[in-house]
Amino acid sequence: MTGRRAAADVATAMAAFLAAGIWLSGVSLPADEHPYLAVSAGAAIIGQAAASILRRKPRLSTPADRVTLVRAVVVACCATLIVPGLLGGRTPEPLLVLLGTAAFLLDAVDGKVARWTGCASPAGASLDSETDAALVLVLSFATAATVGPWTLATGLMRYVFVAAGWFRPALRGPLQESRIRKIIGAFQPFALLLALTPGVPATAGMAAAAVALATLVWSFLRDVQELERLHRTRAALPAETAVSN
């Protein structure tokens, strides 16, 4: 029953995005601008969220996962909206900011639902963080056209960090809970949304995006330092045990 519910939740989320994505691509792109590219951009995001749930053993979805899936649908719609700007047109910024803000605010909901229902899990936390990263990536591409291409570093940094873990196993280790990391993580989409909001002075938007990137760099460097320290500590334990024996 749980597995069937997970499949139904995923199918509902994907169907909801396809309906919304096709409509949004028709609104934001002329018919001759290949609207399927816009839908494909969003489909990649909702597809990642779906795969995250369907590859679980046992296959299950929780009330918090359903909230995160709704958020993933909204983020996927944001991805659809940024494609016109990437193709040389204009991104419908008011609608993008509206949907991006909804996705940003929903981030506070799934965690509370997980705690209220007692369904918090590492798999749910992973789905949540991947959806967070997707939102920041989408917004960084949107701001690249107005603020500058350097904002892409904000969206790509987490993926670079994950890729670095393939070559440096120490970076794949677990990190301790950090309130400052959560604050910095939440500031990224807030700052990028501020930079995209119509009526906000360009200098204010650029400053917010710059502060977001600077704090993110500091946070990642701090995490790398901590992971390397923990890796050295774990590596030293067997040697110390052997000496004592």
Secondary structure percentages of the chain, helix, strand, coil, to 5: 85, 0, 15
Confidence grade of residue 244 (pLDDT, cut at 50, 70, 90): low
pLDDT tens string 64-114: 999 999 999 999 999 999 987 777 767 778 899 999 999 999 999 988 998
Does position 123 have pLDDT exceeding 60, yes or no? Answer: yes
One-letter amino acid at 195 equals: A
Model pLDDT for residues 185-201, shown as the tens digit of each residue: 999 999 999 999 999 99
pTM over 0.85: yes
Cα–Cα distance for residue pair 139/193, rounded to 1 Å: 7
The residue ranking higher by pLDDT, 197 or 234, is: 197
What does the pLDDT read at residue 238? 62
pLDDT at 1: 43
3-state secondary structure of 93: helix
**CATH number for position 214:** 1.20.120
Q: Are 26 and 37 in contact (CB under 8 A)?
A: no
Q: How many domains does the chain have?
A: 1
Identify the CA nearest to 135 among candidates 56, 191, 211, 91. Answer: 191
Give residue-wise pLDDT tens across range 13-55.
999 999 999 888 877 666 556 678 889 999 999 999 999 999 9
Query: What residues make up the domain containing 21?
Result: 2-244
**pLDDT digits 0-9 by tens, 125-177:** 899 999 999 999 999 999 998 899 999 999 999 999 999 999 998 888 888 88
**In degrees to the nearest 10, what's the CA dihedral of 116, 122, 128, 131?**
-160
